[in-house]
Structure 1
């Protein structure tokens, strides 16, 4: 059934007169009569009993009109839903990211988005970055917040910000002895103190003999460390979560490489000793990724725009907060 067929037949059923229906539909009576005849021929049933005045529906006509009214209602509801989607009165947004970013970096952007678009349902999927890439490529996610370089022909990326990796060393480690001039506190990093800019960085050769806890699948860090003969794989532990690496360093187990985003937004009361690093991996991009050549929903587009605006203020929080 086309929308025209629905409108013509329902109007004729309501008016019970070809002349009245044609006037209401703004078409000629012969044109309406011919339309009904053609439709009846197509359906191979008679919809209207023309032997009476006013005309009335046959049983087949009653079935057709009943279905037509239901279809009209569904189409009207769909039209309203699509209009709501276009202005984001409703909708769904599925965001993928690692647990740390979900808990420490996204909440305020989610709050700001929900204030603006309360009807949009948000679903956060937390997983390893490699798994998130696969989920995004398979269209199970609308977008991902990831870090580092991404070489995936199926995904499109935009840079949101940069984050700095610091060498984190247990407070009790002998490594810290004599390196006071290189050390940074969490406050130096959080508040961008003068020490943050004046303190000289260490190189990997300065710390390569230490025990490390590294992140699984962070091949950039592992590859660069492996270039040093002093690097001991046997003394290296691995975890899937950056928060675990941070906690183990704080507990005195091993050194780690911690991003400034965790230091700034993790709300930790205690911290290890931090050192700047002069390495190829010490700076990396925070990216928003979405599937290439796939329609990006209005909700996803608006969230990316909002995220860029909030980051543009130098923080992941709203400027009004």
Structure 2
């Protein structure tokens, strides 16, 4: 089976729809259906259950797709090794990250990398961190930009930087009354003003009775809040994206916990009130992760090196800007 045919089966398994898969593959739906039908006839076994919506893999189909992914990974690694022999004149780099980092933190590094290696085709996969970790384990990504700490033994991680979380409170909230000595602005954070360093830190216990917007898969903050009997999960609403939490706080819906990376690179004109926190989750590592025992392409290695250089200058931006 050719690499193109492998891609047909894998794409159909991922999309769970002949129409969606054919659109992504840039072929007609009848052509894709006929290809799958011919393959099933050749194998004398059904790979896809078409009686459900969306379609799903049969048990035989799962075995086949798992094998197809392994073969595709082997071919990709071979292609990467051969490509490296051409000194990065051509190649492909697939990077996974959450939407916020993709839109606000990585663009300048992508621009700098493409200037240096214009022949490398860069693909950015945006998803939740839990999904990205799975994609990386399955070798569907070359590397990921993640946060926190990983305990996946299949992955290698390196710390790129550290981000600081602040309590974000709506401007009109009564919570702000009498806390002038604690309040800090977005400009204090963006420009590392003296007010930022002189401001006192709030203890988490002071704010646990407030309503919060929390990130759905981030159990670190939720579990910390749950240690206080005054905290009620009924006062929490959840979202998958940190940008949504920021917007809802700005709209006056509830408080949230916002990283300085979003405050610095989000390009927002308006901000809520911020407070420093005296709690362990207030600092979190930003990591680059890649799979152990898998060939790390020269393109991936060079991009990681570039990121370290830019961050070593104290910024995610190009050192020439």
Larger Rg: 1
1:151 match: 151
1:47 match: none
2:119 match: 119
2:169 match: 169
Q: CA deviation at 1:86?
A: 4.2
Change (3 A) 1:119 1:227: same
Matched, 1:160 2:165: no
Q: CA deviation at 1:84?
A: 6.1
2:14 match: none
Which secondary structure does the structure 2 equivalent of 1:192 belong to?
Answer: coil
Matched, 1:278 2:278: yes
Matched, 1:142 2:123: no
1:320 match: 320
Q: CA deviation at 1:217?
A: 1.2
> Superposition pairs for residues 86-125 of structure 1, below 5 Å?
86-125=86-125
Q: Deviations over 1:238-267 (max 9, x none)?
A: 000000000000000000000000000000
Contact 1:155 1:290 in 2 (8 A): yes
TM-score by length of 2: 0.74
Q: CA deviation at 1:203?
A: 1.0
Distance, in Å, in 2 between the alignment partners of 1:183 and 1:219 is 26
Distance, in Å, in 1 between the alignment partners of 2:110 and 2:238 is 31
Ranges in structure 1 where 5+ consecutive residues have no aligned partner: 1-77
Change (3 A) 1:300 1:83: closer
Distance, in Å, in 2 between the alignment partners of 1:150 and 1:118 is 32
Ranges in structure 2 where 5+ consecutive residues have no aligned partner: 1-77
Which secondary structure does the structure 1 equivalent of 2:258 belong to?
Answer: strand
Q: CA deviation at 1:82?
A: 3.2
> Superposition pairs for residues 134-283 of structure 1, below 5 Å?
134-283=134-283
Contact 1:100 1:243 in 2 (8 A): yes
Change (3 A) 1:85 1:114: farther
1:49 match: none
* Paired residues, number: 243
Distance, in Å, in 1 between the alignment partners of 2:173 and 2:228 is 21
Contact 2:163 2:285 in 1 (8 A): yes
Contact 1:211 1:236 in 2 (8 A): yes
Which secondary structure does the structure 1 equivalent of 2:280 belong to?
Answer: coil
C-alpha RMSD of matched pairs (Å): 1.4
